[in-house]
Amino acid sequence: MNDKTRDKSPKTPETDIQDSGRRRFLGVTATVGALGMAGAGSAGLLLGGTRTAEARNSGSTQDYNVPLGELDEYYGFWSGGHSGEVRVFGVPSMREIMRIPIFNHCSASGWGTTNESKRIMGDSHRFPNGDAHHPHVSYTDGSHDGKYLFINDKANTRVARIRLDIFKCDKMTTVPNAQAIHGLRLQKVPKTNYVFCNSEYITPKPNDGRHLDNPEEYWTVWSAIDAETMEVAWQVLVDGNLDNMDADYTGKYAASTCYNSERAVHQADMMAPERDWVVIFNIERIEEAVRNGDYMTFEGDTPVVDGRKGSAVTRYVPIPKSPHGLNTSTDGKYFIAAGKLSPTVSMIEIDRLDALFADELDDPRDVIAAEPELGLGPLHTTYDGRGNAYTTLYLDSQIVKWDMEKAVRNWQGEDVDYIIQKLDVHYQPGHNHATLAESKDADGKWLFSLNKHSKDRFLPVGPLHAENDQMIDISGEEMKLVHDTPTFAEPHDAVIVRRDQINTSQIYSRDDPTFAETIAMAEADGVDVERDNKIIRDGNKVRVYMTSVAPTFGMEEFKVKQGDEVTVVVTNLDRVEDLTHGFCMTDHGISFELSPQQTASATFVADKPGVYWYYCNWFCHALHMEMGGRMLVEPA
């Protein structure tokens, strides 16, 4: 990693850190010892982070220590990649605060086990896996409003919504006519009415077996999902494939990269052309086509507008080569697409898109404001709100900080250097993210480099390594590396919002829609779940309703017959913040969370006669161990 070309980059102290893994580790030990396991040094260590003695001396101009008992300034939402979840960090402490299961099944919370989560997951509940890449927080007028977080599932072609009052998934949609939802971004202005998402792979339309080995019949779609109903509003059929995307700050346009413009089915053919393209979508024109009935349908009745080359609703801007990330600059001026196999990024000037769609330009490339050369393997770009962009260089293992307006002047022929600094990161960065940098409020304080490899940065744990999400102080002129965070597979992307932009509930509201159907079932059984502890028999279906109040369940035993289908519904009547119970039925694979004022349920077959204890599995009280009961299963 040490043979990089660093011609344009000032020498930085971080170079010393990467060359001295062992010394760095000893440095932490010494620091913690000196502090007597108190203060921020121990916090960093206990929580898995590494704040090095060297980093402390790297000249960071902001304090990244969050003293014990104090709260972070930002929420960071990290995707969990093919673990299928979202993780919540406090920034800048990088303390992991919460995990939100979404496309996975969760042993602790019961996500994927409870009837409530199965209803949200729908048919796709049968998939125990997912591949979450792009988490994004909803907007009003270009600023995060903290209402929802949306995220894609590449593995099983889904989009999910997380409610940010309770930090739980409340909607999940399987996208028709699509395969592998990858790039996902939200409408920013006037507000998030649409969730836009890319289908990465080309497939026959409809994909019902009629065209198999006939790639001329393969296409992909760009989709708009209604952010409130989570139904697919419309789709656009495009040439090539679709990788990453973003929307603008006017509400008129969105843009998406394509790395397979030739619609090849073999890798060598995908990489053949020198240029692929960015597709620009004209949202008003698409909506108009849908209103006029100018669309096709394939699977179901989702309107699919033809946006292939030559259509009125799209434009194709050729750019080099197999582009990947696409990030709108926070000043609203540019879509910036990273070249991946080209050392350049392409800056598309959003102000010129009206002219492009009015056919006033001779060449679609006339919307390119600049194509600065940055280094090898550019993947993603983020911003500091002060005119600077930060692009990850996967092959160079660096972040390059560059000046957008100087890059434009250089492109116009002026002899001006636009590269400000190149900083080594460890190693091979994918996405990078600065605080608030997906909104017009980018504040240029902290930058995260989401590195795919950690190699020697952490204690060895066998062949599979952690990834390394590095925190960089960008508040000054120079980037300063200050913290390493090991992360498990695989944070492709993150979004960082101010803590005052999120408003959480401390306990559930009794009319929370998450368990409304369960309450309706209880009412049909004549049961008031907040008062009754009752068994309802309905043939071989048995519904067991019980309450929980620390440290007891309202029912300490119930009897069923072997072969009965048992639904246990538990309502946590505690109103105290943080007083969560759990319900675990031993030897039946049933376990779920019961937060204060929450109702949750799970259904299983009592297929073995005998005595089975159930117990509370979230530590709630001094008598938590005693909180349980028995299910008595009579032989058939």
Buried (b) or exposed (e) across 37-68, using 16+ Cβ within 10 A? Answer: eeebbebbbeeebbbbbbbeebebeeebbbee
How many Å apart are CA 109 and CA 621, to the nearest integer? Answer: 19
In the complex, minimum distance from the CB of residue 549 to ligand CUA, in angstroms, rounded to a whole number: 9
* Pick 536 or 616: Cβ nearer ligand CUA: 616
How many Å apart are CA 495 and CA 137, to the nearest integer? Answer: 7
In the complex, minimum distance from the CB of residue 469 to ligand CUK, in angstroms, rounded to a whole number: 12
In the complex, minimum distance from the CB of residue 567 to ligand CUK, in angstroms, rounded to a whole number: 39
In the complex, minimum distance from the CB of residue 492 to ligand CUK, in angstroms, rounded to a whole number: 3
How many Å apart are CA 474 and CA 420, to the nearest integer? Answer: 12
DSSP state of 323: -
In the complex, minimum distance from the CB of residue 618 to ligand CUA, in angstroms, rounded to a whole number: 5
Token representation of residue 505: 């509930």
Buried (b) or exposed (e) across 295-319, using 16+ Cβ within 10 A? Answer: beebeeebbbbbbeeebbbbbbbbb
Q: What is the DSSP string of 398-466?
A: EEEEEEHHHHHHHHTT-----EEEEEE-SS-EEEEEETTTTSTT----EEEEEES--TTSS---SSSPP
- The answer to whether 172 and 151 are in contact (CB under 8 A) is no
In the complex, minimum distance from the CB of residue 104 to ligand CUK, in angstroms, rounded to a whole number: 17
How do strand 95-101 and strand 494-498 relate by DSSP bridges?
unpaired
Q: Which of 565, 624, 630, 632 binds ligand CUA (CB under 6 A)?
A: 624
Q: Which of 189, 620, 631, 633 binds ligand CUA (CB under 6 A)?
A: 620
In the complex, minimum distance from the CB of residue 579 to ligand CUA, in angstroms, rounded to a whole number: 8
In the complex, minimum distance from the CB of residue 313 to ligand CUK, in angstroms, rounded to a whole number: 25
The residue written with tokens 């965070």 in the block is: 485
Query: What are the residues facing 3 on neighbouring strands?
Result: none
Using CA atoms, how far residue 498 sits from 48, 69, 134, in Å, is: 23, 18, 18
How many Å apart are CA 230 and CA 252, to the nearest integer? Answer: 21
- Residues at the contact surface with ligand CUK, assessed by CB under 6 A: 133-134, 182, 244, 324-325, 379-380, 430-431, 492-493
- Sheet containing 334-338: order of strands: 326-328, 334-338, 345-349, 368-370
| Residue 324 contacts which entry, ligand CUK, ligand CUA, none (Cβ below 5-8 A, type-dependent) | ligand CUK
Q: Which of 616, 629, 631, 633 binds ligand CUA (CB under 6 A)?
A: 616
* Pick 112 or 378: Cβ nearer ligand CUK: 378
Q: Which of residues 466-505 bind ligand CUA (CB under 6 A)?
A: none
In the complex, minimum distance from the CB of residue 170 to ligand CUA, in angstroms, rounded to a whole number: 25
| Residue 493 contacts which entry, ligand CUK, ligand CUA, none (Cβ below 5-8 A, type-dependent) | ligand CUK
551 binds ligand CUA (CB under 6 A): yes
* Pick 211 or 621: Cβ nearer ligand CUA: 621
Choose the binding region for ligand CUA from 6-14, 250-258, 368-376, 617-625 (rule: CB under 6 A).
617-625
| Residue 95 contacts which entry, ligand CUA, ligand CUK, none (Cβ below 5-8 A, type-dependent) | none
* Pick 379 or 420: Cβ nearer ligand CUK: 379
| Residue 182 contacts which entry, ligand CUK, ligand CUA, none (Cβ below 5-8 A, type-dependent) | ligand CUK
Size of the site for ligand CUA (CB under 6 A): 10
Length of the chain: 636
Query: How far is C-alpha 582 from the geometric centre of its chain's CA atoms?
Result: 27
| Residue 492 contacts which entry, ligand CUK, ligand CUA, none (Cβ below 5-8 A, type-dependent) | ligand CUK
In the complex, minimum distance from the CB of residue 472 to ligand CUK, in angstroms, rounded to a whole number: 17
How many Å apart are CA 278 and CA 257, to the nearest integer? Answer: 5
- The answer to whether 83 and 490 are in contact (CB under 8 A) is yes
The residue written with tokens 């959003």 in the block is: 350
* Pick 153 or 424: Cβ nearer ligand CUK: 153
Using CA atoms, how far residue 385 sits from 29, 494, 502, 613, in Å, is: 37, 18, 21, 58
431 binds ligand CUA (CB under 6 A): no
Choose the binding region for ligand CUA from 441-449, 454-462, 528-536, 619-627 (rule: CB under 6 A).
619-627
627 binds ligand CUA (CB under 6 A): yes
∠ CA 488-493-494, rounded to 5°: 95
* Pick 112 or 429: Cβ nearer ligand CUK: 429
Judged by the rule CB under 6 A, the positions of this chain that interact with ligand CUA are 550-551, 581, 616, 618-621, 624, 627
